[in-house]
Structure 1
Amino acid sequence: MSSKILDFSNSTIDSPQFISEANLLIQALKQDFTIKKTKKLRQELQRQEPEQMLSTLGNFFDYVVDKSLPNNIEKCFSDLKDLVPLNKIEAALKTKDPNYLPAFESAKQMFKEAQYFLAITDQEKRSPLSAKLNTVLHAIISFLESIINAFGIADFFKPPENDMQANTKAQRIFTLLSLFGVLTGALLPLLGAVITAPIVGGVLLSLAALSIIYPHIKPMPHFIHKTVNWSKQIQDQTLSSSHVNTKHLDEMAKALITGKKVKSFPMLIGPSGIGKTETAKAFAWAVEKGIYPELKGKKVFYINSADLLNAPGRLEGGNKELQRLNEAMGRHRKNIILIFDEIHILCQKKNNILAEQLKTYLDDSVNGFVNVIGITTQQEFYRDIYRYNPAFARRFKQIRIEAPLDREIQQTLSATLMQKLPGVILEDQALIYLQKTTQDTFPEASQPAAAIKILSQCIKSLSETQKSNLQEKVDQKRQELDLLISEIMINSSQGFLQTSEKEQESIRSAENELKQLEEQLTSLQKEVEKLFEKREKFALLKKKVCQIAVQLGSRKNHSLGRKQAELLKEYVLSTRFLLPALEKNITAQAGSLGLRVVIDKDLIDEMIAIELEDQRRVHEAIEAGKSDVHVREKGLSNPSNT
Structure 2
Amino acid sequence: LLGTLPSVLALLHTPPSTIMEVQGYLYFYIHFYEGYKKGRQYLLEYFGSMQKVYTVAALTLVTLLALNYMKNWLRLGLCDHISIFENLNLKVKGGLIGPSVGRIDERKKLDNCWAKSIDQKYRIAMIVGPTGCGKTQMIEGIAWEAENDPASPYYGKKVYQINTADLLNHKPYVLDSLLLDIKGHEDDAILFFDEAHSAAVSQVKVGSLLQLFKTKLPQNVRIGLATTRLEFDQYIKPDVAFTDRVEEIPMESLSDDNTRAVVKNAVRQDEEQALEVHESAYDALLKVAATDPAYAKRVNPRKSLQLIQKLSSSVFQWTPSLLAQTLNQALREEKTTLDEIREASRQNENWSNSPTGKQVVSHLLAQRQSIQKLREQIIAQQQQLEKIRHLQKLQMIYRKRMNEVIHLLAANPQHQEKAEKNFLLLKFMLLPQVQQALREEANSFEKEYKEKVPLVLDAEWIMSQFPACFQATKPT
Q: Which range, TM-score by smaller chain?
A: 0.5 to 0.7
Q: Which amino acid aligns with 1:255?
A: C
- Which of 1 and 2 has higher RCO (CA within 8 Å, sep 6+)? 1
Is 1:231 matched with 2:89? yes
Question: Which string of whole-angstrom CA distances, capped at 9 and with x for unpartnered residues, describes residues 482-522 of structure 1?
Answer: xxxxxxxxxxxxxxxxxxxxxxxxxxxxxxx99x969x769
2:64 to 181, 186, 210: 210
After TM superposition, give the deviation of residue 334 of structure 1 in Å.
2.0
Are the equivalent residues in 2 in contact too, given 1:231–1:299 (CA < 8 A)? yes
After TM superposition, give the deviation of residue 378 of structure 1 in Å.
1.3
Where do 1:118-517 residues align within 5 Å? 150-152=7-9, 155=12, 175-176=28-29, 178-179=31-32, 181-182=34-35, 193-194=45-46, 206-207=60-61, 209-216=63-70, 218-219=73-74, 220-225=76-81, 226-239=84-97, 243-258=101-116, 261=120, 263-290=122-149, 292-312=151-171, 319-348=172-201, 350=203, 354-362=209-217, 364-365=219-220, 370-387=221-238, 389-420=239-270, 425-427=276-278, 429-441=280-292, 442=294, 443-460=296-313
Distance 1:423 1:530 in 2: 7
Are the equivalent residues in 2 in contact too, given 1:273–1:446 (CA < 8 A)? yes
Distance 2:393 2:131 in 1: 43
Give the RMSD, CA atoms, in angstroms.
5.3
SS in 1 for 2:130: coil
After TM superposition, give the deviation of residue 342 of structure 1 in Å.
1.8
Q: Which amino acid aligns with 1:269?
A: V
Distance 2:389 2:210 in 1: 61
Q: Which amino acid aligns with 2:213?
A: L
Are the equivalent residues in 2 in contact too, given 1:266–1:396 (CA < 8 A)? yes
Structure 2-normalised TM-score? 0.60
SS in 2 for 1:295: coil
After TM superposition, give the deviation of residue 453 of structure 1 in Å.
1.0
Question: Which string of whole-angstrom CA distances, capped at 9 and with x for unpartnered residues, describes residues 527-556 of structure 1?
Answer: 9379949x969x99xx9xxxxxxxxxxxxx
Distance 2:278 2:66 in 1: 64
Question: Which string of whole-angstrom CA distances, capped at 9 and with x for unpartnered residues, describes residues 413-462 of structure 1?
Answer: 22222222779644453211111112211222222322211212334566
Q: Which amino acid aligns with 1:431?
A: Y
After TM superposition, give the deviation of residue 357 of structure 1 in Å.
3.2
Q: Which amino acid aligns with 1:453?
A: Q
After TM superposition, give the deviation of residue 358 of structure 1 in Å.
1.5
Is 1:528 matched with 2:391? yes
Are the equivalent residues in 2 in contact too, given 1:587–1:598 (CA < 8 A)? no
Q: 1:246 to 1:283 in 2, by over 3 A?
A: farther
Partner of 2:427: none
Distance 1:353 1:523 in 2: 55
Distance 1:392 1:255 in 2: 15
SS in 2 for 1:222: coil
Q: 1:363 to 1:205 in 2, by over 3 A?
A: closer
After TM superposition, give the deviation of residue 403 of structure 1 in Å.
1.8
Are the equivalent residues in 2 in contact too, given 1:153–1:207 (CA < 8 A)? no
Higher helix share: 1
Distance 2:142 2:10 in 1: 40
Distance 1:346 1:526 in 2: 46
Question: Which string of whole-angstrom CA distances, capped at 9 and with x for unpartnered residues, describes residues 218-259 of structure 1?
Answer: 202412333111211222334567644344334323422338
After TM superposition, give the deviation of residue 262 of structure 1 in Å.
5.5
After TM superposition, give the deviation of residue 269 of structure 1 in Å.
0.7
Are the equivalent residues in 2 in contact too, given 1:257–1:294 (CA < 8 A)? no
After TM superposition, give the deviation of residue 323 of structure 1 in Å.
3.0
SS in 2 for 1:437: helix
Are the equivalent residues in 2 in contact too, given 1:305–1:343 (CA < 8 A)? yes
Partner of 2:329: none
Are the equivalent residues in 1 in contact too, given 2:113–2:123 (CA < 8 A)? yes
Are the equivalent residues in 2 in contact too, given 1:151–1:207 (CA < 8 A)? no
Q: 1:187 to 1:204 in 2, by over 3 A?
A: same
Distance 2:385 2:47 in 1: 71
Are the equivalent residues in 2 in contact too, given 1:233–1:239 (CA < 8 A)? yes
Unaligned 5+ residue runs, structure 1?
1-143, 313-318, 474-512, 544-581, 610-642
Structure 1-normalised TM-score? 0.46
